[in-house]
Amino acid sequence: GLSEKLNATFKRLRGKGRLTENDVKEAMREVRLALLEADVSFKVVKEFVSHVTERATGADVLDSLTPAQQVIKIVNEEMTALMGSTNSKISMANSGPTVVMMVGLQGAGKTTNGAKLAGLMRRQFGKRPLLAACDVYRPAAIEQLKVVGGQLDIPVFELGQGDPVNIAEEAIRHARDHGNDMVLLDTAGRLHVDAELMDELKRMKAAVHPNEILLVVDAMTGQDAVNAASAFDEALGIDGVVLTKLDGDARGGAALSIRATTGKPIKFVGTGEKLDMIELFHPDRMASRILGMGDMLSFIEKAEQNYDEKQAKKLEEKLRKNRFTLQDYYDQLLQLRGMGDLSQLAGMMPGAMGKQLQGATIDEKALSRTEAIILSMTPLERENPQILGASRKKRIAAGCGLQVVDVNRLLKQFDMMQQLTRQLSHGRMGGGMGGKMR
């Protein structure tokens, strides 16, 4: 992930200080790649990187963060701001039903996400929505809307294969008469943007004056989604975007590009085929995802859950008393293993634990080696590593199928822990092992 790469970039720069122009430039090289990999358009990446470089250069590195974390923090903040720092809403009609036009290319997810949105509006805002079948070109489209509407128990208005503009008008009349305070117009799509489709949508817009025109785009289509957004916005004028299929592999760089090129906000995201899988857009979550750190937040949460406070307190006590043994070291590593990617975790934890892990035991392989070595020691040796002379080391190495150098490496890491212990007993706990890990 990006945070690992940045940690590597900043290996030599530990602790406090200021970010120099060169540091930031180096980090931005990684950020740039991460963004391009996430399908953010080249032009947007270029502007973004130059803006963030300017802001980050000379910035203080907070005590509780590593330089890598500091850069990620700034990048994250700027990206969040660029995508809109508040959650977007639908602008509701002052009187009569709120009319929402769902537009977009074929297969983008208009029909399903129109229904999902209707469900969300009812759930979260107590709306009584009506779905209107204005995609008349394929009979299957009307049937599909009736099926999804039926599953959510949301009424569907249809007039068969009539004129879509007329159907939209009739649907709104129907809504007024039947107490529906919101109408979602499911419109037709095409494989590509074409004039005929735009004309129909423009006529519909002129006839019904929608409160919102929401463009539905498929996140998996990357740059095509951005091009579609520009085309629809120029021809029709859109108010916002529904970015669908974010449950797939797409990192969602389209969100950043769409916002940057059209200036129109992403308002909702589709996160699965099921009809409740739609969410309000959260720029901060999206930023993490685009940066390839989508797991970071859940990762921290997981770490916090897994990490037993009591055990931490005990460990801290031992550290303070300089009685931290290899057995404790082993127990601690085992506990960490349950959390997945250790190096990522290390980079995110300020204080004792993070420092210990950084550059020390990082990958699973090394962890297994460490485990094997400690398991080859007798309990006496684990409690008293100072007794480990050449012959004991040889026996241990043979016992776990490794070399004496491997045993020495582990002991060196352990020694780092001892140094830390000394710092701790002088009261320099930093973030603290018993404290919160953020």
Binding site for Mg ion (CB under 5 A): 110-111
Q: Measuring CA to CA, which residue among 207, 130, 193 is closest to residue 163?
A: 207
* Of 319, 326, 322, the residue nearest 396 (C-alpha): 326
Was 104 annotated as part of a binding site?
Answer: yes
403: number of Cβ within 10 Å = 13
What sign for the dihedral angle of Cα 152, 153, 156, 160? positive
The one-character DSSP state at 90 is P
**Residue 302, CB-side half-sphere exposure with 13 Å CA sphere:** 16
Q: Which of 270, 292, 294, 430 binds ligand GDP (CB under 6 A)?
A: 270
- Closest approach, Cβ 171 to ligand GDP, in A, equals 17
Nearer CB in complex with ligand GDP: 110/127: 110
Surface-to-core class of residue 122, CB atoms within 10 Å of its CB (0-12 exposed, 13-18 middle, 19+ buried) = middle
CB neighbour list of residue 13: distance below 8 Å, 6 or more residues apart: 23, 67
The answer to whether 232 and 190 have CB atoms below 8 angstroms apart is: no
Q: How many CB atoms lie within 10 A of CB 151?
A: 12
Which of 84, 189 has the CB closer to Mg ion?
189
210 lies in the site for ligand GDP, by CB under 6 A: no
Q: Using CB atoms, what's the residue nearest to ligand GDP?
A: 270
- Answer positive or negative: Cα dihedral of 280, 282, 288, 291: positive
Among 32, 110, 393, 409, binds ligand GDP (CB under 6 A): 110
Contact pattern for ligand GDP over residues 163 through 202, marking x by CB under 6 A = --------------------------x-------------
415 in a known ligand binding site: no
Residue 227 binds ligand GDP, judged by CB under 6 A: no
**Contact region with ligand GDP (CB under 6 A), list: 15-23, 56-64, 240-248, 380-388:** 240-248
Is 272 annotated among the ligand-binding residues?
no
Judged by CB under 6 A, which stretch of 24-32, 241-249, 381-389, 415-423 contacts ligand GDP? 241-249
Judged by CB under 6 A, which of 32, 205, 245, 251 binds ligand GDP?
245
Query: What does the binding site for ligand GDP look like in residue numbers (CB under 6 A)?
Result: 104, 106-113, 189, 216, 244-245, 247, 270-273, 277
Q: Please report, in range form, the residues annotated as the binding site for GTP.
A: 104-111, 186-190, 244-247
